[in-house]
Amino acid sequence: MVLRSEILVNKNVLPTKEQALPGRETAMTLPEKHFVFEETPLLGPFFQDVDFAIFGLGCFWGAERRFWQREGVVSTVVGYAGGFTPNPTYEEVCSGLTGHAEVVLVVYDKDKVSYEELLAMFWELHNPTQGMRQGNDIGTQYRSVIYATSPEHLDAALKSKATYQAELSKAGLGEISTEIEQAPTVFFAEAYHQQYLAKNPEGYCGIGGTGVCMPPSLAGN
């Protein structure tokens, strides 16, 4: 039997369901409005023809900021996904005992930005070859993930991975370790994490890419 105290030694190993923390039934209480977009409801209803994307690319503070800055993005919400613990706290996710990755739910206007363009942003904003880390941020919560909200998105994500891998290989970089799956439940993070860098402009941001770009035709350029 593996003790939880032993798992804490290595945050680069995902826990099993049996090892994961139990969590709770109560979801986090969220603000009604998006802090940056002000009058926009954080979780809707939305008047635009919107769709949803879920990305994990390291610390969700900096990732969320980059996506809310993209034209066509209607709302952004940070949370935890891909693990076992229901409604985890930030501290529990940081322990490595929930299995979750830090993610950003991106709500976007399909008439103004495409899913493929958001995928290009995702690949270029971080290093997807690092496994259970992103730069100096080490642990399972910082792994690279794409959680597709439809079969079409899953297909597009896999195709974009192959395209970006070819570009990385040309640059002499390694193999992509990004987890690409149909979307699991996203458990939203505490209210203070939402749009954190708009509230704390000097706060930590670990976002940094490889310098390798998607081919312009796929990046919407």
Residues forming the active site: 59
Whose CA is closest to 135, among 209, 52, 216, 79? 209
Say which residues have a Cβ less than 8 Å from residue 91's Cβ, sequence separation at least 6: none
Residues 142, 104: Cα–Cα separation, whole Å: 12
- Find the farthest-apart pair of alpha carbons in the chain and give their distance in angstroms, rounded: 53
Which is nearest to 187 in space by CA: 155, 119, 141? 141
What are the φ and ψ backbone dihedral angles of 51, each rounded to 5 degrees?
A: -140, 175
Token pair in block for residue 215: 């081919």
Q: What is the 3-state secondary structure (H, E, C) of 70-134?
A: CCCEEEEEEEEECCCCCCCCHHHHHCCCCCCEEEEEEEEECCCCCHHHHHHHHHHHCCCCCCCEE
- Give the C-alpha distances (Å, rounded to integers) separating 151 from 141, 178, 182, 183: 25, 18, 8, 10
